[in-house]
Amino acid sequence: ALVGDLDSLFTALGLREESFAVGALSRVVAAELASYAPAKNRRRTATNKASVIFVDRTLDLAGAVGHHGDNLAEKILSVLPKLPGHKTDVMVNMVELTALQTTDETCSIIAPGCLAQPNDPAAKALWESFMNLKQKEAVMEARRHLVEAASRENLPIKMSMGRVTPEQLSSYIQLFKNNLKALENHCGLLQLVLATVQTLKHPQTSKWDNFLAFERLLLQTIGESEMPSVLNQLLPMIKSYNKRTKDDYACEDFLVLLVYIYSVVGEIKCGKELDTAEEEVKKALVKAICDEPEPSPLLQKITGCDSSLNLTSEKATVAVDGIFRCLRDIARVRMHMKQFHSGYCQSPNVNRPHPGDHPLLIIFMVGGVSVNEVKMVKDLVATRKPGTQVKTALSMQFLSKQKLRKFISVPYSTGTKPTESHSQMGRNDVRILL
Protein backbone atom coordinates (compact mmCIF):
# COMPACT_ATOMS: atom_id res chain seq x y z
CA ALA A 1 0.00 0.00 0.00
CA LEU A 2 2.82 2.42 0.87
CA VAL A 3 4.63 1.86 -2.44
CA GLY A 4 1.35 2.26 -4.35
CA ASP A 5 0.59 5.51 -2.52
CA LEU A 6 4.08 6.83 -3.24
CA ASP A 7 3.70 5.96 -6.92
CA SER A 8 0.36 7.79 -7.04
CA LEU A 9 1.95 10.86 -5.46
CA PHE A 10 4.91 10.83 -7.85
CA THR A 11 2.55 10.31 -10.80
CA ALA A 12 0.56 13.39 -9.79
CA LEU A 13 3.81 15.37 -9.58
CA GLY A 14 5.11 13.94 -12.85
CA LEU A 15 8.32 12.75 -11.22
CA ARG A 16 11.06 10.42 -12.40
CA GLU A 17 12.74 9.69 -9.09
CA GLU A 18 16.09 8.30 -8.07
CA SER A 19 15.84 6.56 -4.70
CA PHE A 20 18.30 6.54 -1.80
CA ALA A 21 17.88 4.77 1.53
CA VAL A 22 19.22 5.03 5.07
CA GLY A 23 18.17 2.09 7.24
CA ALA A 24 17.01 -1.49 6.73
CA LEU A 25 13.28 -0.81 6.26
CA SER A 26 14.01 2.16 4.01
CA ARG A 27 16.07 -0.09 1.74
CA VAL A 28 13.10 -2.44 1.46
CA VAL A 29 10.74 0.44 0.57
CA ALA A 30 13.18 1.85 -2.00
CA ALA A 31 13.73 -1.58 -3.59
CA GLU A 32 9.99 -2.25 -3.77
CA LEU A 33 9.39 1.13 -5.41
CA ALA A 34 12.19 0.50 -7.91
CA SER A 35 10.68 -2.84 -8.99
CA TYR A 36 7.02 -1.75 -8.85
CA ALA A 37 5.64 -2.18 -12.40
CA PRO A 38 3.45 0.98 -12.53
CA ALA A 39 6.40 2.99 -11.18
CA LYS A 40 8.66 1.61 -13.94
CA ASN A 41 6.13 2.71 -16.56
CA ARG A 42 5.85 6.16 -14.97
CA ARG A 43 9.60 6.68 -14.93
CA ARG A 44 9.80 5.99 -18.66
CA THR A 45 7.58 8.96 -19.49
CA ALA A 46 7.92 11.40 -16.56
CA THR A 47 10.03 14.51 -17.25
CA ASN A 48 10.58 16.02 -13.79
CA LYS A 49 13.64 14.52 -12.11
CA ALA A 50 13.83 14.18 -8.32
CA SER A 51 15.90 12.53 -5.62
CA VAL A 52 14.00 10.66 -2.89
CA ILE A 53 15.76 9.78 0.36
CA PHE A 54 14.03 7.20 2.55
CA VAL A 55 15.16 7.36 6.18
CA ASP A 56 14.32 4.98 9.05
CA ARG A 57 12.98 6.66 12.18
CA THR A 58 14.62 4.12 14.50
CA LEU A 59 18.09 5.27 13.47
CA ASP A 60 17.56 8.31 15.67
CA LEU A 61 14.75 8.02 18.20
CA ALA A 62 16.59 10.54 20.39
CA GLY A 63 15.71 13.23 17.86
CA ALA A 64 12.04 12.61 18.52
CA VAL A 65 11.87 11.71 22.23
CA GLY A 66 14.27 14.46 23.31
CA HIS A 67 12.82 17.71 24.68
CA HIS A 68 14.86 19.89 22.36
CA GLY A 69 14.93 23.63 22.24
CA ASP A 70 12.08 26.01 22.71
CA ASN A 71 9.34 25.30 20.17
CA LEU A 72 5.69 26.05 20.95
CA ALA A 73 4.25 23.92 18.13
CA GLU A 74 6.07 20.83 19.39
CA LYS A 75 4.73 21.38 22.90
CA ILE A 76 1.18 21.84 21.62
CA LEU A 77 1.36 18.60 19.64
CA SER A 78 2.92 16.76 22.58
CA VAL A 79 0.60 17.69 25.45
CA LEU A 80 -2.88 18.28 23.98
CA PRO A 81 -5.08 15.23 23.27
CA LYS A 82 -5.26 14.00 19.69
CA LEU A 83 -8.24 14.90 17.53
CA PRO A 84 -10.16 11.65 16.95
CA GLY A 85 -9.56 10.24 13.48
CA HIS A 86 -6.46 12.38 12.89
CA LYS A 87 -2.77 11.53 13.22
CA THR A 88 -1.41 15.06 13.58
CA ASP A 89 -4.11 17.45 14.76
CA VAL A 90 -5.14 17.96 18.38
CA MET A 91 -8.31 18.79 20.28
CA VAL A 92 -8.65 22.36 21.54
CA ASN A 93 -11.10 22.87 24.40
CA MET A 94 -13.58 25.56 23.25
CA VAL A 95 -15.57 25.87 26.49
CA GLU A 96 -13.89 29.20 27.28
CA LEU A 97 -15.71 30.78 24.33
CA THR A 98 -19.14 29.60 25.51
CA ALA A 99 -21.51 30.37 28.37
CA LEU A 100 -21.08 26.85 29.73
CA GLN A 101 -19.66 26.91 33.26
CA THR A 102 -17.54 23.85 33.94
CA THR A 103 -14.11 23.06 35.29
CA ASP A 104 -14.11 19.61 33.69
CA GLU A 105 -11.35 19.68 31.07
CA THR A 106 -12.71 16.48 29.51
CA CYS A 107 -16.16 17.98 28.95
CA SER A 108 -17.37 16.74 25.55
CA ILE A 109 -20.59 18.74 25.27
CA ILE A 110 -18.84 21.39 23.16
CA ALA A 111 -17.22 20.23 19.93
CA PRO A 112 -13.43 20.64 20.08
CA GLY A 113 -11.40 23.06 18.03
CA CYS A 114 -8.26 22.09 16.11
CA LEU A 115 -5.02 23.44 14.63
CA ALA A 116 -5.82 23.05 10.93
CA GLN A 117 -7.28 26.34 9.70
CA PRO A 118 -6.75 26.34 5.90
CA ASN A 119 -9.28 29.14 5.28
CA ASP A 120 -7.94 31.59 7.85
CA PRO A 121 -4.80 33.46 6.65
CA ALA A 122 -4.10 34.92 10.10
CA ALA A 123 -4.31 31.49 11.74
CA LYS A 124 -2.04 29.98 9.07
CA ALA A 125 0.53 32.73 9.60
CA LEU A 126 0.37 32.26 13.37
CA TRP A 127 0.92 28.51 13.05
CA GLU A 128 4.01 29.17 10.91
CA SER A 129 5.26 31.36 13.75
CA PHE A 130 4.64 28.54 16.23
CA MET A 131 6.65 26.22 13.99
CA ASN A 132 9.60 28.49 13.27
CA LEU A 133 10.04 30.88 16.21
CA LYS A 134 11.17 30.35 19.76
CA GLN A 135 8.35 29.96 22.29
CA LYS A 136 8.66 33.48 23.73
CA GLU A 137 8.51 35.05 20.27
CA ALA A 138 5.67 32.74 19.17
CA VAL A 139 3.55 33.65 22.22
CA MET A 140 4.15 37.34 21.51
CA GLU A 141 2.96 36.73 17.94
CA ALA A 142 -0.20 35.12 19.33
CA ARG A 143 -0.86 38.26 21.39
CA ARG A 144 -0.15 40.54 18.43
CA HIS A 145 -2.56 38.67 16.15
CA LEU A 146 -5.20 38.70 18.87
CA VAL A 147 -4.82 42.44 19.49
CA GLU A 148 -5.03 43.20 15.77
CA ALA A 149 -8.16 41.06 15.40
CA ALA A 150 -9.81 42.77 18.40
CA SER A 151 -8.93 46.21 17.03
CA ARG A 152 -10.50 45.42 13.65
CA GLU A 153 -13.69 44.41 15.46
CA ASN A 154 -13.59 47.56 17.66
CA LEU A 155 -13.40 45.48 20.82
CA PRO A 156 -12.26 47.30 23.99
CA ILE A 157 -8.80 45.77 24.18
CA LYS A 158 -5.96 47.27 26.22
CA MET A 159 -2.56 46.42 24.82
CA SER A 160 0.00 45.64 27.49
CA MET A 161 3.71 45.28 26.95
CA GLY A 162 6.16 42.92 28.60
CA ARG A 163 5.86 39.21 29.26
CA VAL A 164 2.87 37.40 27.77
CA THR A 165 1.02 35.11 30.19
CA PRO A 166 -1.74 32.54 29.60
CA GLU A 167 -4.03 34.63 31.79
CA GLN A 168 -3.46 37.69 29.61
CA LEU A 169 -4.27 35.76 26.44
CA SER A 170 -7.40 34.35 28.09
CA SER A 171 -8.56 37.85 29.02
CA TYR A 172 -8.18 38.93 25.38
CA ILE A 173 -10.09 35.86 24.19
CA GLN A 174 -12.98 36.73 26.51
CA LEU A 175 -13.55 39.94 24.51
CA PHE A 176 -14.72 37.84 21.56
CA LYS A 177 -17.02 35.67 23.63
CA ASN A 178 -20.20 37.75 23.42
CA ASN A 179 -19.64 39.14 19.92
CA LEU A 180 -20.92 36.54 17.49
CA LYS A 181 -19.70 38.36 14.39
CA ALA A 182 -16.17 38.79 15.78
CA LEU A 183 -16.19 35.18 16.95
CA GLU A 184 -17.13 33.99 13.47
CA ASN A 185 -14.59 36.21 11.71
CA HIS A 186 -11.65 35.07 13.85
CA CYS A 187 -12.66 31.57 14.92
CA GLY A 188 -9.53 29.95 13.45
CA LEU A 189 -7.18 32.38 15.15
CA LEU A 190 -8.97 31.95 18.47
CA GLN A 191 -8.58 28.18 18.29
CA LEU A 192 -4.80 28.49 17.92
CA VAL A 193 -4.56 30.99 20.78
CA LEU A 194 -6.69 28.73 22.97
CA ALA A 195 -4.34 25.85 22.11
CA THR A 196 -1.47 28.06 23.26
CA VAL A 197 -3.16 28.90 26.56
CA GLN A 198 -4.07 25.29 27.29
CA THR A 199 -0.54 24.12 26.46
CA LEU A 200 1.13 26.73 28.66
CA LYS A 201 -1.14 25.75 31.57
CA HIS A 202 -0.75 22.01 31.05
CA PRO A 203 1.10 20.21 33.89
CA GLN A 204 3.24 18.32 31.38
CA THR A 205 4.61 21.63 30.05
CA SER A 206 6.06 22.44 33.45
CA LYS A 207 8.05 19.21 33.23
CA TRP A 208 9.49 20.13 29.84
CA ASP A 209 12.41 22.14 31.21
CA ASN A 210 13.11 19.43 33.79
CA PHE A 211 13.32 16.85 31.01
CA LEU A 212 15.60 19.10 28.97
CA ALA A 213 17.95 19.71 31.90
CA PHE A 214 18.11 16.02 32.78
CA GLU A 215 18.73 15.01 29.15
CA ARG A 216 21.66 17.44 28.98
CA LEU A 217 23.03 15.98 32.22
CA LEU A 218 22.65 12.48 30.76
CA LEU A 219 24.57 13.48 27.64
CA GLN A 220 27.39 14.76 29.83
CA THR A 221 27.36 11.59 31.91
CA ILE A 222 27.32 9.36 28.83
CA GLY A 223 30.32 11.24 27.47
CA GLU A 224 32.29 10.70 30.67
CA SER A 225 31.03 7.33 31.96
CA GLU A 226 29.93 3.88 30.86
CA MET A 227 26.30 2.84 30.51
CA PRO A 228 26.05 1.26 34.02
CA SER A 229 26.88 4.63 35.62
CA VAL A 230 24.13 6.30 33.59
CA LEU A 231 21.56 3.72 34.69
CA ASN A 232 22.68 3.99 38.32
CA GLN A 233 22.09 7.74 38.11
CA LEU A 234 18.56 7.11 36.85
CA LEU A 235 17.68 4.48 39.48
CA PRO A 236 16.90 6.73 42.52
CA MET A 237 14.45 8.74 40.44
CA ILE A 238 12.15 5.76 39.77
CA LYS A 239 9.48 6.08 42.44
CA SER A 240 6.25 4.25 43.14
CA TYR A 241 2.92 6.03 42.79
CA ASN A 242 2.44 6.74 46.52
CA LYS A 243 5.95 8.23 46.82
CA ARG A 244 5.81 10.52 43.79
CA THR A 245 5.13 14.26 43.83
CA LYS A 246 3.71 16.19 40.89
CA ASP A 247 7.26 17.06 39.81
CA ASP A 248 8.50 13.45 39.83
CA TYR A 249 8.62 11.31 36.72
CA ALA A 250 5.87 8.75 36.12
CA CYS A 251 6.49 5.30 34.62
CA GLU A 252 5.82 6.52 31.09
CA ASP A 253 8.28 9.39 31.57
CA PHE A 254 10.99 6.89 32.43
CA LEU A 255 10.22 4.91 29.30
CA VAL A 256 10.89 8.08 27.28
CA LEU A 257 14.15 8.70 29.14
CA LEU A 258 15.27 5.11 28.59
CA VAL A 259 14.59 5.36 24.86
CA TYR A 260 16.57 8.60 24.81
CA ILE A 261 19.52 7.07 26.71
CA TYR A 262 19.77 3.95 24.56
CA SER A 263 19.36 6.01 21.38
CA VAL A 264 22.30 8.33 22.08
CA VAL A 265 24.70 5.97 23.86
CA GLY A 266 25.90 4.28 20.66
CA GLU A 267 27.51 0.86 20.87
CA ILE A 268 27.01 -0.65 24.33
CA LYS A 269 29.80 -2.58 26.02
CA CYS A 270 28.04 -5.68 27.34
CA GLY A 271 29.16 -7.36 30.52
CA LYS A 272 28.27 -8.27 34.09
CA GLU A 273 28.30 -4.65 35.28
CA LEU A 274 25.76 -3.60 32.65
CA ASP A 275 23.57 -6.63 33.33
CA THR A 276 23.55 -5.81 37.06
CA ALA A 277 22.67 -2.14 36.47
CA GLU A 278 19.86 -3.08 34.09
CA GLU A 279 18.46 -5.62 36.55
CA GLU A 280 18.25 -2.97 39.28
CA VAL A 281 16.40 -0.58 36.95
CA LYS A 282 14.10 -3.41 35.86
CA LYS A 283 13.19 -4.24 39.48
CA ALA A 284 12.41 -0.60 40.24
CA LEU A 285 10.26 -0.28 37.10
CA VAL A 286 8.38 -3.50 37.84
CA LYS A 287 7.57 -2.28 41.35
CA ALA A 288 6.49 1.15 40.06
CA ILE A 289 4.25 -0.41 37.39
CA CYS A 290 2.65 -2.82 39.87
CA ASP A 291 1.99 0.02 42.33
CA GLU A 292 0.01 2.08 39.80
CA PRO A 293 -3.61 2.30 41.01
CA GLU A 294 -4.80 2.00 37.42
CA PRO A 295 -2.46 1.24 34.49
CA SER A 296 -2.41 3.85 31.73
CA PRO A 297 -3.39 2.81 28.17
CA LEU A 298 0.30 2.39 27.33
CA LEU A 299 1.00 0.23 30.39
CA GLN A 300 -2.10 -1.80 29.56
CA LYS A 301 -0.72 -2.40 26.09
CA ILE A 302 2.74 -3.31 27.35
CA THR A 303 1.60 -5.65 30.13
CA GLY A 304 -1.55 -7.02 28.49
CA CYS A 305 -3.54 -6.14 31.65
CA ASP A 306 -6.46 -3.71 31.51
CA SER A 307 -6.75 -3.47 35.30
CA SER A 308 -4.42 -3.33 38.28
CA LEU A 309 -6.30 -6.34 39.66
CA ASN A 310 -4.98 -8.48 36.79
CA LEU A 311 -1.46 -7.03 36.85
CA THR A 312 0.93 -9.35 38.64
CA SER A 313 4.63 -8.96 39.32
CA GLU A 314 5.34 -11.83 36.89
CA LYS A 315 3.45 -10.13 34.05
CA ALA A 316 5.16 -6.80 34.73
CA THR A 317 8.56 -8.54 34.78
CA VAL A 318 7.93 -10.17 31.41
CA ALA A 319 6.86 -6.81 29.97
CA VAL A 320 9.90 -4.95 31.33
CA ASP A 321 12.27 -7.67 30.06
CA GLY A 322 10.75 -7.17 26.62
CA ILE A 323 11.25 -3.41 26.90
CA PHE A 324 14.94 -3.83 27.62
CA ARG A 325 15.36 -6.19 24.68
CA CYS A 326 13.88 -3.45 22.49
CA LEU A 327 16.21 -0.89 24.08
CA ARG A 328 19.26 -3.03 23.25
CA ASP A 329 17.99 -3.23 19.65
CA ILE A 330 17.57 0.55 19.57
CA ALA A 331 21.20 0.98 20.64
CA ARG A 332 22.43 -1.42 17.94
CA VAL A 333 20.36 -0.04 15.08
CA ARG A 334 22.27 3.26 15.01
CA MET A 335 25.19 1.41 13.43
CA HIS A 336 23.17 1.51 10.19
CA MET A 337 23.31 5.32 10.27
CA LYS A 338 26.64 5.22 8.40
CA GLN A 339 25.16 3.27 5.51
CA PHE A 340 23.81 5.20 2.54
CA HIS A 341 22.34 3.21 -0.33
CA SER A 342 21.22 4.12 -3.82
CA GLY A 343 18.47 2.20 -5.53
CA TYR A 344 20.24 2.38 -8.88
CA CYS A 345 23.67 2.30 -10.53
CA GLN A 346 24.98 -0.79 -8.80
CA SER A 347 27.65 -1.31 -11.45
CA PRO A 348 31.13 -0.20 -10.33
CA ASN A 349 31.75 1.29 -13.79
CA VAL A 350 28.92 3.78 -13.45
CA ASN A 351 29.24 7.00 -11.47
CA ARG A 352 27.30 6.70 -8.25
CA PRO A 353 24.29 9.03 -8.12
CA HIS A 354 24.05 11.75 -5.50
CA PRO A 355 20.90 13.19 -3.86
CA GLY A 356 21.93 16.65 -5.07
CA ASP A 357 21.91 15.60 -8.73
CA HIS A 358 18.33 16.73 -9.29
CA PRO A 359 16.42 20.00 -8.73
CA LEU A 360 13.95 18.44 -6.28
CA LEU A 361 14.92 16.56 -3.12
CA ILE A 362 12.25 14.66 -1.17
CA ILE A 363 13.08 13.33 2.30
CA PHE A 364 10.63 10.56 3.20
CA MET A 365 10.68 9.77 6.92
CA VAL A 366 9.58 6.16 7.41
CA GLY A 367 7.97 6.51 10.83
CA GLY A 368 7.24 10.21 11.19
CA VAL A 369 9.09 13.42 11.98
CA SER A 370 9.09 15.89 14.85
CA VAL A 371 8.46 19.62 14.59
CA ASN A 372 11.94 20.33 15.87
CA GLU A 373 13.45 18.26 13.06
CA VAL A 374 11.46 20.15 10.42
CA LYS A 375 12.81 23.39 11.85
CA MET A 376 16.34 21.95 11.82
CA VAL A 377 16.04 21.22 8.10
CA LYS A 378 14.70 24.70 7.39
CA ASP A 379 17.49 26.34 9.38
CA LEU A 380 20.13 24.17 7.70
CA VAL A 381 18.82 24.95 4.23
CA ALA A 382 18.68 28.67 5.02
CA THR A 383 22.34 28.52 6.08
CA ARG A 384 23.70 26.28 3.32
CA LYS A 385 21.48 27.28 0.40
CA PRO A 386 19.59 30.58 0.87
CA GLY A 387 16.52 30.88 -1.31
CA THR A 388 15.85 27.14 -1.41
CA GLN A 389 12.27 26.18 -0.66
CA VAL A 390 11.50 23.75 2.17
CA LYS A 391 7.99 22.35 1.93
CA THR A 392 6.31 20.15 4.50
CA ALA A 393 3.67 17.81 3.10
CA LEU A 394 0.19 18.28 4.57
CA SER A 395 -0.11 14.53 5.05
CA MET A 396 3.02 14.43 7.21
CA GLN A 397 2.70 12.72 10.58
CA PHE A 398 4.29 14.67 13.39
CA LEU A 399 5.71 12.55 16.18
CA SER A 400 4.80 13.44 19.72
CA LYS A 401 6.20 12.09 22.97
CA GLN A 402 3.04 9.97 23.38
CA LYS A 403 3.62 8.26 20.03
CA LEU A 404 7.29 7.65 20.74
CA ARG A 405 6.46 5.93 24.03
CA LYS A 406 4.62 3.33 21.98
CA PHE A 407 7.77 2.42 20.07
CA ILE A 408 8.96 0.27 22.95
CA SER A 409 5.69 -1.65 23.11
CA VAL A 410 6.09 -3.06 19.58
CA PRO A 411 8.87 -5.22 18.16
CA TYR A 412 10.05 -2.82 15.45
CA SER A 413 9.44 0.73 14.26
CA THR A 414 11.25 3.06 11.91
CA GLY A 415 12.85 6.47 11.13
CA THR A 416 15.70 9.07 11.74
CA LYS A 417 16.78 12.68 11.80
CA PRO A 418 16.58 14.54 8.46
CA THR A 419 19.89 16.35 8.79
CA GLU A 420 21.99 13.17 8.50
CA SER A 421 21.26 12.69 4.82
CA HIS A 422 20.57 16.35 4.18
CA SER A 423 24.05 17.66 4.89
CA GLN A 424 25.11 17.54 1.24
CA MET A 425 21.88 18.58 -0.42
CA GLY A 426 21.99 21.65 -2.53
CA ARG A 427 19.28 22.23 -5.10
CA ASN A 428 16.10 24.24 -5.44
CA ASP A 429 13.39 22.46 -3.50
CA VAL A 430 13.25 20.25 -0.40
CA ARG A 431 10.14 18.43 0.71
CA ILE A 432 9.67 16.47 3.91
CA LEU A 433 7.09 13.71 3.86
CA LEU A 434 5.81 11.18 6.38
- Co-location of 33 and 115 in the same domain: no
Going across the sheet that includes 429-433, the strands are 341-342, 15-22, 48-56, 360-366, 429-433, 389-392
Last residue of a domain, which of 179, 201, 223? 201
Same domain, 301 and 423: no
Which residue among 336, 367, 383 closes a domain? 336
Same domain flag for 37 and 104: no
Query: Using CA of residue 27, residue 29, residue 32, residue 34, what is the dihedral sign?
Result: negative
**Helices and strands of the chain, counted as H and E runs:** 19, 6
- Please give the pLDDT value at position 159: 72
H or E element in which residue 361 lies: strand 360-366
pLDDT for the residue 430: 52
Cα 219–chain centre separation? 20
Q: Are 327 and 346 contained in the same domain? A: no
Residues 207 and 311 in one domain: yes
pLDDT tens for 92-127 read: 998 888 877 666 666 667 889 999 999 899 999 999
In angstroms, the CA 161 to CA 376 distance is 31
Assess if residue 228 is contained within a domain: yes
Q: Judge if 243 and 325 occupy the same domain.
A: yes
Per the domain annotation, does 73 fall within a domain? no
156 and 179 share a domain? yes
- How far apart CA 164 and CA 43 sit, in angstroms, is 53
Number of domains the chain is built from: 3
| Domain boundary pick from 311, 336, 361 | 336
pLDDT in tens, 381-410: 888 877 766 665 533 455 555 554 554 444
pLDDT (0 to 100) of residue 396: 43
Inside any domain, residue 68: no
Distance CA 261, CA 265 (A): 6
Q: Are 361 and 418 in contact (CB under 8 A)?
A: no
Residues of the domain holding 261: 203-336
What per-residue confidence (pLDDT) applies to 281?
93
pLDDT on residue 250: 87
**In a domain? residue 75:** no
Residues 328 and 217 in one domain: yes
Q: What sign for the dihedral angle of Cα 305, 290, 332, 368?
A: positive
Predicted local distance difference test score (pLDDT) of residue 167: 92
Domain co-membership, 332 together with 210 = yes
Q: What pLDDT score does 394 carry?
A: 39
The whole-angstrom separation of Cα 316 and Cα 313 is 5
Q: Is 167 within a domain?
A: yes
**CA 10 to chain CA mean position, Å:** 25
Residue 76 lies in a domain: no
pLDDT means per 10 residues in the chain (434 residues)?
A: 90 91 89 94 92 85 78 89 87 86 68 91 93 91 93 84 88 90 93 95 83 82 81 88 85 88 80 90 92 88 87 91 89 67 50 80 84 82 76 51 49 35 40 49
Give the whole-angstrom CA distance, residue 417 versus residue 377. 9
Nearest to 195 by CA among 285, 346, 72: 72
Residue 13's domain is classified under what CATH number?
3.40.50
Q: Torsion-angle region of residue 342: left (phi > 0), alpha (psi -120 to 50) or beta?
A: beta
- My answer on whether 54 and 121 are in the same domain is no
Model pLDDT, residue 33: 94
Residue 155 belongs to some domain of the structure: yes
Q: What angle do CA 329, 331, 332 make, to 5 degrees?
A: 65
Do residues 129 and 191 both lie within one domain?
Answer: yes
Same domain, 306 and 280: yes
Query: 187 - beta bridge partners?
Result: none
Residue 69 lies in a domain: no
Judge if pTM exceeds 0.85. Answer: no
Cβ-defined contacts of 334-340 (< 8 Å, 24+) = 334/59, 334/60, 334/263, 334/266, 335/267, 336/22, 336/23, 336/24, 336/56, 336/59, 337/22, 337/59, 337/60, 337/416, 337/420, 339/22, 339/23, 340/20, 340/21, 340/22, 340/421
